[in-house]
Amino acid sequence: MAKVVIIGAGLSGLSAAYHLEKKGFSDYLIIEKEANSGGLCRSIRQDGFTFDFTGHLLHSSNPYFSSLLLHLLGSDNVNKIMRRSFIYSHGVYTPYPYQVNLHGLPLKTILDCIEGFVKRKSSKKKPKLFAEWVLKNFGQGLANSFFFPYQRKLLQYDVRKLSASWTGRFVPKTSLRQMLAGALHNNGQNIGYNATFLYPRRGGIQYLIDQFVKKLNTQVITNCSVATIDLKKRIIMFKSGESISFDLIINTMPLNEFLFGCSSTSLVQAANKLLCTSVMCLNLGIERPSFSDKQWVYYPEKQYPFYRLGFYNTFSSAMVPQGCSSMYIECSYRNKSERSIKNLVKAARAEVKKLFNLSEDEIVVENTLSIPHAYVIYDLWRERNLAKLLVRLEQEGIYSIGRYGAWKYASMQESVLDGRNVANKIIVQLACRNIFSFKQGKHDIKGPHRLTDVV
C-alpha cells in the first residue's frame, strides 16, 4: 500500500509529488491515464511544428512560483513577453481588454459603452450573479457589446445563470477616465493579470512538464486509468483490472469523473450536477512567415464558430520550422453530437482561411485536439455545494485539487501552488497521526506501466 496515491500527472499532480519529495516524503505513487505526463499542459510535435493543447502561458504574481519556474526552466530558456492580444468585432481589431480600448469601434458602440458605464446603478450589495456583476461594474453597453456575447459563446450556457464568484482578477475593472482615454486614442492600455507572461523558448509548454518529471525520484506510472474507488475498503480499481490500496488520495482528475467512480450514491448524484464546457482545438501549421503580429484574438460575435485563436510562433520561434507560422483555433461546445462537433471544426477552418486569406497549399500540418473538460461552469449549484463536497472528500482522506480536481477556473500558477499547499497539508496530517517517517521509502516498480502492492 502507498500512503498517498496521486491521481493525474498534470501540473497539479506533479507539483504535489515534487513538493512531497522536497519535504523528504516518498511513500507515494503518481498515476496518469495517458501515455505521457502533463494532462492538458502538454505539447505534441508534428513535422517540425510544436503544438500545445491551446495556449498555455505562464502568468506569475507569486514570488515562490516565479523562482520555481526559473529553477525548472532555466533563465536561458524563458521568453518574457508583453501581451499583444485583441478583440475582433465590427470588423475591427481592438486591444484587449475591451473595456479600456474602444478606439476604432463604431461611434454608436463607443457611446453606448460609455453611457452605460456612466448610468450603471451603484449598489453596496455584492452581486451573486455574473450578469449583475457586469452591469454593476461596466454597464449595459459593455455587457451587450462584449461580456455577454463572449461569455455565452465560450461557455455555451445562459449567462443569467452564472455565478459572479469566478471573476476576481480575471476580469480587469475600469474607470471613466480609462474608458475615455481608450476611446479617444489608440494607446492600447495593457492592464490585467496577464499583461506580461513567460513561455519556454524551446519545447513548448511540455518542457515545463518534462522538467518537473526529471526532478522526481518516483516514476510516473502512465497508461493507468482509474475505474472505481472503494472508499470503505480504501481500494482504487483500475481499468486494467489491477487494484491498489491507499491511505490518502490527491486527486487531480476532473472532479465529476472522480465522483462517478466512487462507491457512494450521493457522490455520483453530485457528479451529475457539475457542469463544464468542452473545447476542440484545431492546430494549423502554415507555410508563411510572420503570419500575424498578434498573439491571440477573441471573437465575441456569433458569425465566427470559434471564440479565440492564437499564434504559437509569437510565443517562441522554436515552435515552427524556419519560414513558417502556426496557430490554434478554439471552438467550444456542450451536449453536441459527434457529427455536429466535426461540422463545427470544419466551419472554423473555413472561416479562418477567409479571415486570413489562407490558401489550402499553405496549410502544411493540421491536427485536432479534444478537450472534454475545458471550462468549469460556475452555476448556482456549484456555488452552493462545491465547498461542502470538497470538505466531505477530505473527511474521506481525499484532497481534490487543481483546475479540474477542485472544479474551478485557475491559472497554471494556482495549479502549482495547489500542489505545494496540499503536500504541506498532508505532511502535517501524517505527522499528527504519528505515522510519518522521514526515512526514504522505496516502491518495487519494475516498469513504467506496473502498479505496486497490488491487492
Q: What is the CA radius of gyration of the chain?
A: 23
d(CA 15, CA 418) in angstroms, rounded, equals 8
Classify 419 as helix, strand or coil.
Answer: helix
Distance CA 173, CA 99 (A): 8
Kindly compute the dihedral angle of the four CA atoms of residues 64, 69, 72, 73, in this order, to the nearest 10 degrees: -160
- The per-residue DSSP string of 299-350 comes to --STTSS-SEEE-GGGT-GGGS-TT-EEEEEEEEESS--HHHHHHHHHHHHH
Domain ranges of the chain: 2-73+202-273+378-432, 85-184, 276-376
Is residue 382 within 8 Å of 407, Cβ to Cβ?
yes
The burial class, CB within 10 Å (0-12 / 13-18 / 19+), for 424 is: middle
* Cα-based angle 20, 264, 392 (whole degrees, multiple of 5): 50
Domain 2-73+202-273+378-432: assigned CATH number: 3.50.50.60
Question: Which DSSP letter does residue 146 get?
Answer: I
Q: Give me the residue label for grid cell 486509468.
A: 225
| Residue 48 CA, distance from chain mean position | 25
| Cα–Cα nearest to 158, from 261, 272, 277 | 277
Own/partner long-range contacts of 265-274 (Cβ < 8 Å, ≥24 apart): 267/389, 267/392, 270/385, 270/389, 273/381, 273/382, 273/385, 274/376, 274/382, 274/407
With beta carbons less than 8 A apart as the criterion, state whether 164 and 132 touch. Answer: yes
Say if residues 177 and 63 touch (Cβ distance below 8 Å): no
232-242 residue pLDDT tens: 999 999 999 99
pLDDT at res. 451: 42
pLDDT string in tens for the chain (455-residue length): 789 999 999 999 999 999 999 999 999 999 999 999 999 999 999 999 999 999 999 999 999 999 999 999 998 999 999 999 999 999 999 999 999 999 999 999 999 999 999 999 887 888 999 999 999 999 999 999 999 999 999 999 999 999 999 987 778 888 999 999 999 998 877 877 778 999 999 999 999 999 999 999 999 999 999 999 999 999 999 999 999 999 999 999 999 999 999 988 899 999 999 999 999 999 999 999 977 889 999 999 999 999 999 999 999 999 999 999 999 999 999 999 999 999 999 999 999 999 999 999 999 999 999 999 999 999 999 999 999 999 999 999 999 999 999 999 989 999 999 999 999 999 998 888 754 444 444 443 333 333 433 22
The 8-class DSSP code of residue 440 comes to: P
pLDDT for 434:
55
The CATH classification number of 276-376 equals 3.90.660.20
Confidence (pLDDT) at 442 = 43
- pTM more than 0.75: yes
End-to-end CA distance of the chain: 8
Q: Identify residue 409 by its one-letter amino acid code.
A: Y
Question: Scanning the structure block, which residue is given the C-alpha cell 485563436?
Answer: 309
**For residue 94, what is the enclosing H or E element?**
strand 92-95
Around Cβ 392, how many Cβ atoms within 10 Å? 14
Dist. CA 39–CA 47, nearest whole Å: 22
- Interior angle at CA 449, CA 44 and CA 69, nearest 5: 45
How many helices (DSSP H) and strands (DSSP E) are in the chain?
Answer: 14, 17
Angle CA 128–133–136, to nearest 5: 130
Q: 276-376: same fold as 2-73+202-273+378-432?
A: no
Cβ neighbours of 129 (radius 10 Å): 18
pLDDT at 240: 94
